[in-house]
Amino acid sequence: MATMTVAKAINEGLRATLNNNAKSLLMGEDIGALGGVYRVTDGLLKDFGPDRVVDSPLAESGIVGTAIGLALRGYRPICEIQFDGFVFPAFNQITTQLAKMHFRSSGKLTVPVVIRIPYGGGIGSIEHHSESPEALFAHTAGLRIITPSNAHDAYWMIQQAVECADPVIFFEPKRRYWLKGEVDTENPGPASDPFKAHVLREGSDATIVAYGPLVPVALAAAAAAAEDGHSIEVIDLRSISPIDFDTVEASVRKTGRLIVAHEAPTFGGIGGEIAARISERAFLHLEAPVIRVGGFHMPYPVAKVEEDYLPDIDKILEALDRSLAY
């Protein structure tokens, strides 16, 4: 067991991958000497050299496109997109090429590319640095999308993403990069399956589903609700595509109430998908409509008002109140 931040855990996970898998390599903007703008790749260039830790030209489509070519040659590229809002130049390569290559080759080709994207707000940043574009990728068949919320998961999930034969988008909750936690580097324990949701807190009155940066917020909301006598179950979704509906459904069958929280806008978001699926699977077990807590239907606002935009403890508690009163 070691205590480390989420950023350091990803760094150690990447180090383990580079050690264990000779075909793996990192590529991205400023990931070499600088160690990435968030220092997630700090020290890796020094230890693995420029053929394995590749400082790329400043071109996101080129990064993902060349990664696809490397994967076709048998490599395991791990790309870093510097910020969520800068992934869009690569959107064509990700959705029309990466996601479809296995399908269009009738399974003859695999493209095990991992795309790391720091995402989400809450760090007081400027435009295009605080977005949560996961739903845009979740809508694309062929991709897998996972997001850790703590250091232990981060350490294991990045390695599991690289081992997966399918392309994986690895969303890193940037405002939790500095969150410390215990990491067992010997044994993944419950983190052995990156596509499985985790019940982090058991409860009987309602369920909160969250992922990535909002997991600590959901846990804090559940703790606050407990003071008011409500027993709240909290699920860390971990995988956004596929979604572990079995775990969510089992929880809802027990609690009868469901809140889904994410930073991304609620409209057309992951919360809507979960609400629809759970309505189909457990309609008669629901005591209240599924309530979504998320961003507004607006571009991510300026930092000075992002507190009003972001889901927080109070917004989740308000949703819980509505659900429990229904």
Partner 1 sequence: MGSTQLPTPRINGTGQQFLEGAESGDPATGMVQLLGPDGTLGTDPVFSDYAKRLEPEQLRGFYADMAKIRRFDQEATALQRQGELALWVPLTGQEAAQIGSGRASQPQDYIFPTYREHGVALTRNVDLAELLKLFRGISNGGWDPNENNFHLYTLVLAAQMPHSVGYAMGIQRDQKLAEAAGSNDPKAAVLAYFGDGASSEGDVHESMVFAASYDAPVVFFCQNNHWAISVPTEVQTKIPLFNRAKGYGFPGIRVDGNDVIAVHAVTEWALEHAREGRGPVLIEAHTYRVGAHTTADDPTKYRESAEEAEWRGKDPLERLEKYLRAEGLADDAFFEQVKQDGNDLAAYVRRTAVALQAPDIHDAFAGVYAEPHPLVAEEQAWFTEYEAGFEREEEAGH
Q: Which residues are catalytic?
A: 129
Maximum CA extent, the chain: 59
Asked whether the bond before 311 is cis by omega within 30 degrees of 0, the reply is: no
Alpha-carbon gap, residue 121 to 305, rounded angstroms: 11
Name residues contacting partner 1, limited to 255-294 (CB under 8 A): none
Alpha-carbon gap, residue 60 to 56, rounded angstroms: 9
Q: Note whether 104 binds partner 1 by CB under 8 A.
A: yes
Q: Are 259 and 234 in contact (CB under 8 A)?
A: no
Q: How far is the CB of 134 from partner 1 (least distance, A)?
A: 16
- Binding segment for partner 1 (CB under 8 A), chosen from 5-13, 37-45, 100-108, 129-137, is 100-108
Q: Which is nearer to partner 1, 42 or 166 (CB)?
A: 166
Helix (H, G, I), strand (E, B) or coil at 60: helix
Three-state helix/strand/coil letters over 304-326: HHHHHHCCCHHHHHHHHHHHHHC
Q: Note whether 243 binds partner 1 by CB under 8 A.
A: yes
Q: Which is nearer to partner 1, 46 or 104 (CB)?
A: 104
Name residues contacting partner 1, limited to 187-206 (CB under 8 A): 195
Q: How far is the CB of 175 from partner 1 (least distance, A)?
A: 29
Please give the full DSSP string across 120-188, using - where no structure is assigned: ---S---TTSS---HHHHHTSTT-EEE--SSHHHHHHHHHHHHH-SS-EEEEEEGGGTT-EEEE-SS--
Helix (H, G, I), strand (E, B) or coil at 203: coil
- Binding segment for partner 1 (CB under 8 A), chosen from 74-82, 229-237, 262-270, 311-319, is 74-82
- Binding segment for partner 1 (CB under 8 A), chosen from 103-111, 146-154, 259-267, 284-292, is 103-111
Q: Terminal CA-to-CA distance of the chain, rounded, Å? A: 44
Q: Note whether 108 binds partner 1 by CB under 8 A.
A: yes
The first and second tokens of residue 152, run together, are: 């232990």
Q: How far is the CB of 160 from partner 1 (least distance, A)?
A: 11
Helix axes 151-163, 6-20, angle to 10 degrees: 30
Among 62, 188, 272, 301, binds partner 1 (CB under 8 A): 62
Q: Which is nearer to partner 1, 104 or 128 (CB)?
A: 104
Q: Note whether 107 binds partner 1 by CB under 8 A.
A: yes
Q: How far is the CB of 122 from partner 1 (least distance, A)?
A: 30
Residues near partner 1 (CB under 8 A), total: 49
Q: Which residues bind partner 1 (CB under 8 A)?
A: 25, 51, 56-57, 59, 61-62, 64-75, 77, 89, 92-93, 96-97, 100, 102-110, 112, 141-142, 144, 164-166, 195, 241-246
